[in-house]
Every structure is written in C-alpha cells, then in structure tokens.
Structure 1
Amino acid sequence: MREYAKFYIGGRWVYPVESRTLEIVNPATEGVCGRVAMGSAADVDEAVAAARSAFPAWSATGVKERIELLQNIQEEYGKRSADLAAALTEEMGAPASLAGGFQVGLGAGHLAKAIEVLGDYAFSEQRGATLVVKEPIGVCGLITPWNWPMNQIAVKVFPALATGCTMVLKPSERSPFTGQIFAEILEAAGVPAGVFNLVQGDGPGVGVPLSAHPGVDMISFTGSTRAGVEIARNAAPTVKRVTQELGGKSPNILLDDEDFAGNVAKGVTSMMGNSGQTCSAPSRMLVPRARMAEAAEAAKDAAAKTTVGDPNGDVVIGPVVAKDQFDKIQGLIQQGIDEGATLVAGGTGRPDGLAKGYYVRPTVFADVTGDMTIAREEIFGPVLTILGYDDVDHAIELANDTEYGLAGYVAGADLEQARAVASRIRAGWVAINEAFDFDCPFGGYKKSGNGREWGEFGFHDYLEIKGVLGYAPDVADVPDSA
C-alpha cells in the first residue's frame, strides 16, 4: 500500500493545509493500492508563492547551468525507471512491458531531447538595429493527465526548466504515484528550492485555483476538451497564456495498394496499445469501400492477437483506468451495435476468464458511417471504427469531418501519394507509415487544442518575446520627420 501524505513545495516535503486523502484503486484488481493527499487552494497559494520567489534567480541562470541540472535529472531518472514503471502498472494498468518500455522511455527521450535543444537554442537574435529576446514567461501551472503520465510530465516540466521558468505541477489524481516519484527524482537531482513544486489533487480542488491564480503566468494543460474549455474560462480574467492538448478522433487513411492487409493489422495494433487510452490514437480507419470485407477480416485477425489480462503478465493490453471509464466504453460499444455498425471483433463485457478488473474486449466495428456516435465521439478505449471511402478525395473529406484535429495517419507504399494525402489532413501531427520523431511538434487543430509540445517547438510556449529597439543605434533606421 502506497501512502503519499506530503507535497513538494519550496524545496521541502510538506503536509497539505487541509487533511484530505484519496484512495487510489488498482484497475486490474479493483482493490485500493494507495492513498494520496489532496490539495486545496491554500496549497496552490503556497506553491505559487514558492515558484514566484524562485523565479528571479532561476530565470537569470545560463544555459550551462540549466543543462547541468537536466543532466543530473537524467541520471536520477535512470536510477528510478523501474520504480516509475511499477507505479504505472499499479495506478493505471499499463502492462509491464509498456510501462517499463515506451511509457517510461518517452520521458527519458523528451529529457534527452530537451538537453540537446537547449545546447543550441538561440535566446536572442539581432535584426538590424533591434534585438529580439526570448525570455522565460514566469511561473507555469502544469496540469497533466493519467494516460501517459511520464510523457506528459516530461513535455511540460523539461521545457519549462530549460527555458528558465518555475512551475507548479498537478498530476492527475488517477495516476499520482508517478508524479510523486518524479518529484523525488527532481529533489535528488538538486533542483533549486521553489523552481519545481508538486501539489496533488483534483480539478475543483487544485486545477481551478491554479488556472485562475493571478501569480501564474501560463497554464499548460493536457486532458479532455471539456476540461480544457473550463480551464480557459478560469484563466481568462488574468489574461494568462493557456496552451492545451485536448481530445482527438484521429483518421488513419489506408491507401489502396499491395500493403493494404498489413497496414490494417498495424492500424489495429496501434489503436489497441495502452488499452486505446491515447488521445492521438488512430481510432477511425478509412479504407477503400471495395475492400471493406478484406479490411474487416484482417482487423478481426489482428484483434484476436491482442491479448488482454493481468498487466504484470505477458499481455498486450491491461485494464482501462477506472470503472467510470469502463462503463463509458461499454455504453459506446453498445451504441455502435444499436446504430447498425458491423461488430467484427469484441463487444460488450469483459474478455473471457476475467471476472474482475476493468478489462475491455478489443473491439472492431466495420461498415461505420460518419454520422454514427462511435465515428464522432472520443471513446478512449480499445475500440476501432472502420469507415469506407470512394476515392482519395472522399477519404480526405471523411478524415477532416470531425471537430478534432490532433493527429492523422496515412499508410501506403506510394510515398508521393502518401505525402499528398498527409498535406490535406487538418491535424497538427500527421504520420506517414507509422513514422516517429521526438523533434516533431505535437499539438492540435480545432477542438484538439492549441500550442505545440516536443523538441524545439516545445520551448516556444514557455517564452515571452521582447523587442529591444535601438540596440545597435549605429545601424538604426531613423524615420523621416513627420
């Protein structure tokens, strides 16, 4: 049983102002696996005050000092990787291979990339007589989700540190263990007091006061579109910067070529990973209408290979994170059946042999139309919808027929055709043939949010831009007198 009773504020582990805790349920067993302290507005006040106090000194540090700190974090992160992986499996059900692999590995990858980018980053640029300076924005409120905890903490905390900002992190109350271990890593690495602060809690108790706080200069949020809208409303009176990575219903256009069946299988595998709990998951597979039956058969075979079970064992996917998530997914699967989609694999209920735990059957629907609920609503579970298109123009029309625009995918042997299709998808991240790159900017169009994370682009939102006119008066253009 894990017990986390303190927050990390001002370089010290402190008890919350109010004594309140939350029981954390292991989604594989449905049993309580830990308790975490829950914060309030008073804790946010203390954390923000600590961050504001630390900002002048930290923002004045040079690149060399920040790189050294990030390298210290890198060393400590490596020491605690196994602890992070175990916590991920326990708190949100990620299979051990995924937790110790891609889940923890993403955090390490973003840290290495932040160090690399910082080494060459230009914080000032002279343009004629004017100096353009990029300065740290100030105190940042960082609100992260439960589905990829280390990835989302990494893409916020490391750029904030690299650019000279101070911060308050609120991890999701559904995956608080990793956030707590992460704070221990930063403490061990020697992060100066007040530069990084951790307050655990829920949206009403911590997220709202953090978003509305006049001492916070920026909010970076990843989560649902609904919550993102509320955060923007709460932040509006203080006119702070708000960046958001929100929901998605991402299209995966499979081109009509000899790789088709293999690309169907790859699309299923990608969709089912992390139990489908990925905002950028390729949840809408678009296939030539004439090959719908072939796609359905290939998808059925791939779904059958998606093993489900105890995340401590050798399985592809574990449970979804919580009962309410399980119930939502079950309801949407039933709605797909009721609306007339063809159930190819899976369906409602738990997989055979699993009487306990929030396990969902890997589910595939074929013959889905664009007006069906399962084609429009983010399910956030291992549920794939397959839609048919008449030609490439129709595929692109279907791909863009969504209120979201986080990601898109194109699969096909003809690279030139794939590039042409990718250029017409209205989304912030479009991958051709499952390509991956830590340098690629990640973020959404439309209701999928604003701002970008990852690599060099992840630095931008943490910086203010200042123009210093007359910096070089000997070359300044002097306007004619009026």
Structure 2
Amino acid sequence: MHRVASYVKGEWIGPGRAARPVTSAVTGEVIAEVGHDGLDFAGMLAHARTVGGPALRAMSFHDRARMLKALALHLNARKEELYEISYDTGATRRDHAFDIDGGIGTLFVYASKGRRELPDGHVLLDGGIEELGRSGSFKGQHVYVPLRGVAVHINAYNFPVWGMLEKLAPSLLAGVPSVVKPATASAYVTGACVRMMIDSGILPEGALQLVTGSLGPTLELLGPQDVVSFTGSAETARMLRRTPNLLDNAVRFTAEQDSLNASILGPDAAPGTPEFDLFVKEVVREMTVKAGQKCTAIRRIIAPEPHVGAVIEAIRARLAKVVVGDPRAEGVTMGALISAEQKADVLGKAALIGSEAARVFGDPESFTPFGSNTANGAFLPPMLFHCADPDAARTLHETEAFGPVSTVMGYRDLSHAFDIANRGGGSLVASVITHDPEVARAAVEEIGAWHGRLYFNDRDSMAEATGHGAPMPHMTHGGPGRAGGGEELGGIRGVKHFMQRVAVQGSPDLLTRVSNRWVPGAREFEGPTHPFRRRFGELRIGETLHTPARQITLEDIEHFARFTGDTFYAHMDEEAARRNPFFPGRVAHGYLLISFAAGLFVDPDEGPVLANTGLDNLRFMKPVSPGDSIAVTLTVKEKKKRNDDYGEVRWHVRLANQHDETVAEYELLTMVAI
C-alpha cells in the first residue's frame, strides 16, 4: 500500500481521512491512498516565491543546468525502483522507456542545452543590438529574466514521470520554482520520483513542492508572475482557463490537451516498399505503447484508397501478435489502461466511432488478458476500425478514444488526405510516411498550420527516427486548436515560457553591464599584458588590444591568389574588377585580410589560449585596395566557462583601414585555460 504524501514547505504531509483509494490497473486491487485533509496552499506559494525563487535565481543558468544533470544521474541510478512501482499503472517495460527513461533523458537534454546555449549568468539575451540613435550612444537589447512567481504543473495520469519532468526541466532551468500536481490515478509513481529528488539534496529548498490530491484554492491565489502548465482533457482545460483569478491577473496558462493525431501513407508508399512496412509498424506501435494512452498516439490512419485493404490486413497481422496482459509477465507486449473508469470511457468512445466506422479487429467482449489475477484489471484489446466514407463522418474527427483505438480511412489524392488530417481541428503531431520530397513539401504547406509537429520518415531516416509519438525535448511539443494552443518543451523556447521578455534601452556601457556582453561603443581598456597571455579568469569584458597597421600590397594579393588557387577576377584583373559595381579595381581577398589580421593580433608563444574554434558573423564592409593599410581592434566580448579546465572567450574583431573605416568585422571563438 502506497500512502502518497504531499511535500509542502519542506515537509512531507501524509494522506488524511479524505484520501482517495487508487487501484492497480492490472489486478483492480487497492494499492494506494492519495489526497489530503487540507494544505496551507497560500503558504506553499509563498514558500516557493520567497525561498525557492531567490535560491534558484541566485544560481546562474549554468549552475541550474548542472543541477538538472545531477538530478538526471540520481534518478537514472534508481530507475529500476520506478519501473517496479510503475507496473501497476498497466505499463510494460517497453512503456517505462517512454515514461521514466524519457523523463530522465529530458533532464539530460535541458542540462546540456543550458550549458551550451545559455550564458553563465542570469540574463538571457534575445536577438541582437538595435540601433536607436544616429551616433551609436543609444541602443536597445531584448533580454529574458526569470519570472518572480511559481510554476504550477498540472499533469496527466499517462506519463507520471516524463509528464512531470518535461515541465520541471525548463522551469527550473529558467529559475522558477515549481508546484507539481500529478493525476491521482498514477500519483504514487510521481510521488516516488519526487521523493527521490528531494532526498538527493540536489534541489534548493522551495524549488519543488508536490500536491497529491486537490489543489484547493491554488489557482485563485496566483498572480501575474505565475504560470499554469496543464496536460489533460480539453474539458478540464476549459474549466481551468475560466478561473476568474487567472483571467483577472493575466496568469500565463499553457495547455496540452486532446489531439486526434493522424498518420498519412504517401501515395508513393505502395505495398512492398520499405515505407509501407514502416507505416504499419509505426501505427501498431502507437496503438499499443502505453495501451494507446498517449497524447501523441495515432488515432486516424489515412491511406491511398487503392491501398486501404492492404493496410488493414497488414495492421491486423501485426496486431494479432500483440499479447495483452499482466505487464510483469514474460511475453506480454501491451498492458492495461490506467483504471476501470478509463476502460469504460474508451469503450464508450469506441462505440461512438463505431457509429461511423466498422470494427475490423479487436473484440472486447471475447477478449481474455494474459496472466493470473487479471480478471479485474483494466485491459482491452487493440481495436482497429475502418471508415469507408471519411467525408461524411463527423464524430470520427471529433472523438478521441484515449486507448488502443485507431481508424483507417482512404483518400483520393493528396489534397483529400490533407483535408482529412486538418479535420481533426488541431493536433499535436501528424506523420507522413513517404520517400517523395514533394509530398513532404506539400504536407508542410497544407497541414503545418494545424499541427504542432510534422514527423516525416522513410527508408533513409528510419534507422535513427524516434517515432511518430515520441516528443523530443529539443523540439516543440504542443499544438493549435483542439490540442490546446500551448507549447511544452521546444528546447530553449520551453525555458522562455517561464521568463519575461523585456526591452532594455540605454548607452553601450549600460547594456554591456546588463548583458555581461561587450556592446560596440562601450568603454574599452587595455590589460597589463597581451590578452593571449592572460588566463580565462583574468580576462575582463571590454579588455581590448589595438594592433599596429599593416599595408596591403599588390604582391600580397597575387601571392595569396597563387598560393590558395583563388584567382577570382576581382583580385587579378584590373579592368574586369572596375566593371564590377562593388570594387574600384583590383582588391584584396577577404580571407587574406582575415589571415593578416590574425598575424597582427596573435601572440605566438605557448600560453593560456588553447584553440581557435571558429568565427561567427563575418562581414566584409569595404574593399581594400593595394596600398591600403589595415589595423585590428580585438576586444573581449563574452566569456563562458566550459569546465574546470577551460572556458570559451568570444572576441569582437574589427579591421579598419588607414581612414579608420571598418573594412571587416567578425567574432572569434577561442578556448582559454582557466
């Protein structure tokens, strides 16, 4: 018996007399008690705002990224414990890979992205500098800063670990504390995972709290700095959105809800092709993983009319090999739905679908699950339907049976296929299995507006493709219309949902201090020695080296042309170069200028600079003719510590001619020893 406690204000509060019993999806026996007799909800939010928030904001993005990695490693070492608990949700070991391993993997991805893509500071820059004045003394920069509130995560039952961690990772990386509210039916799994994270001591106090059972008046206590992130049914989302306090205070609300996802078999993917077999495999996987209880599962199977019969037969043949039963039993490939209530709901929705389509596989009346003690479990067989007239159907395009239920329908041409897909009214994902790039292009143009993600797969990508129903933390997870109109995940985009974008205007010196990144026009100063002789920790933003000038001769240009083989006419033919509207005559190669620039600023001796790792934003602004001179201004623009041994230094490099006119500009990246 799991007595699932809440974790509020640094204390575990066990379930009270009002706790609800939770049954095993496999046996139907009561295995948990979830709920409480009342919590200090106002105190919980205050604890997050006054304790958790300041502690997280005191950490840099990189500190928080390291925290996420530590959490991921801690959970990864204990995932077998979570597997064992999770079997009672009806999940097989294969399902654990989607939920538990997927959640841990999401932590790893955000930890990596935080270190690679975010600054080692507290302000995230958005876009480049905007010039707001003529002289360059007044500029603008958009930045993101963490919200000063709390993120309330309301999660669905089907992914008790991944569903929590996909929201938690970006909110913690943003620097915003979280309150997690899991679905009651699987809260015992979420509770075990949260306890592992709290016991690890990795998280600062107040960064994470857990409410098992009712949220009480929480939504009425939120303000404009808070965020509600919801996953569940459209009906519940509508009810929550209408909370007067959320509307009055413009509380951010993002929802991921019902989705009638479709998969389209391309007209080129005839029986016998690798794409046809791939299509069938994807459909069956999406029908059976988590017993079809996935917000991204394929609900509508759209195939060319001539191939509908072959598609049905191929899917039926694969479904016939699926073994449904106790997920702990050897050989079982599909487990149970989460509860008897959910089983009844799926049967009711399947009956609605059956009013417009014929069932061609899976009879719940004659079905017997595999394993002992499963008679009272929430098991259903995979059920496949065929709709002969998808144009006349209505309920089929509006009803999601959240279980192992999917419907095959035929299309006349691509335009018809796209119309059927869009009739879902907005989905999290649509997949198109095709080897024809033109089909993919047309799909993006015609159905992209109605789907949060488009997944294409064929013989070339099938070995590495992650699957129709596998949202990746790097990419947007969400969708328009029926799917809720929100976004979860999406790389650093997901982090920004918990931050405020603010326009900062001021002088170059002010913007440099705010952004911790040197802005052209800001103060420059010389260091005590050549900057390449100084270690990472010794270099300061704005530190600048001014080099002597070097004259560019015609001999330099011709030697470079012969040496490199770049004999483009603008460098070698005076008359041809003069006819070019961009040049006054023969000019120096751009890469010659860059090479000479390096010769002017590089210190040749062994020192802290370990490697040149690249150039960014290279621009050539003005041609350099024979007889012109160039000098370099090298400025420390930005610093990012990579590990305990070295950090990345971004240098602003300006090449100017004898008239102090900028002829080229770029950013140099080097690794410098700590």
**What TM-score do the two structures reach when normalised by structure 2?**
0.66
Q: 1:196 aligns to what? A: 208
In 1, distance between residues paired with 2:395 and 2:366? 22
Matches within 5 A, 1:47-446: 47-54=44-51, 55-90=53-88, 92-99=89-96, 101-119=97-115, 120-122=117-119, 123-125=124-126, 127-128=129-130, 129-137=139-147, 138-187=149-198, 188-201=200-213, 205-206=214-215, 209-215=217-223, 217-234=226-243, 235-256=246-267, 257-258=269-270, 259=273, 261-262=276-277, 263-313=279-329, 314-337=331-354, 339-349=355-365, 351-353=367-369, 355-370=375-390, 371-425=393-447, 426-433=450-457, 435-436=465-466, 437-446=472-481
What amino acid sits opposite 2:451 in the alignment? A
3-state SS, counterpart of residue 335 of structure 2:
coil
Task: Label 1:472 to 1:74 Cα distance change in 2 as closer, same or farther (>3 A).
Answer: same
Q: How far apart are 1:19 and its partner, in Å?
A: 4.3
In 1, distance between residues paired with 2:375 and 2:229? 39
Structure with greater Cα Rg: 2
Output one character per residue of 1:85-117: Cα deviation in whole Å (capped at 9) or x when no partner: 122211x21113322x22211111100111011
Q: How far apart are 1:450 and its partner, in Å?
A: 2.6
Task: Label 1:350 to 1:172 Cα distance change in 2 as closer, same or farther (>3 A).
Answer: farther
3-state SS, counterpart of residue 34 of structure 2:
strand
Structure with larger RCO (C-alpha < 8 A, sep 6+): 1
- Does the aligned pair in 2 maintain the 1:330–1:349 contact within 8 Å? no
Output one character per residue of 1:384-410: Cα deviation in whole Å (capped at 9) or x when no partner: 101111000000011001223221110
3-state SS, counterpart of residue 217 of structure 2:
helix
Q: How far apart are 1:57 and its partner, in Å?
A: 3.2
Output one character per residue of 1:124-175: Cα deviation in whole Å (capped at 9) or x when no partner: 2552312322111221111111111222111111111111001111111111
Count of aligned residue pairs for this structure pair: 466
3-state SS, counterpart of residue 185 of structure 2:
coil
Q: How far apart are 1:340 and its partner, in Å?
A: 4.9
In 2, distance between residues paired with 1:350 and 1:167? 46
| 1:2 counterpart = 2:26 | no
Structure 1 residue runs without a partner (length 5+): 477-482
- Does the aligned pair in 1 maintain the 2:349–2:400 contact within 8 Å? no
Task: Label 1:11 to 1:191 Cα distance change in 2 as closer, same or farther (>3 A).
Answer: farther
Q: In structure 1, which of residues 30, 33, 44 is the aligned counterpart of residue 31 of structure 2?
A: 33
Structure 2 residue runs without a partner (length 5+): 131-138, 467-471, 511-519, 522-674
Q: Aligned-residue CA RMSD in angstroms?
A: 2.2
Q: How far apart are 1:368 and its partner, in Å?
A: 4.6
**What TM-score do the two structures reach when normalised by structure 1?**
0.91
Task: Label 1:350 to 1:431 Cα distance change in 2 as closer, same or farther (>3 A).
Answer: farther
3-state SS, counterpart of residue 400 of structure 2:
coil
Task: Label 1:422 to 1:159 Cα distance change in 2 as closer, same or farther (>3 A).
Answer: same
Q: Larger helix proportion, structure 1 or 2?
A: 1
Identity score, percent: 26
| 1:465 counterpart = 2:501 | yes
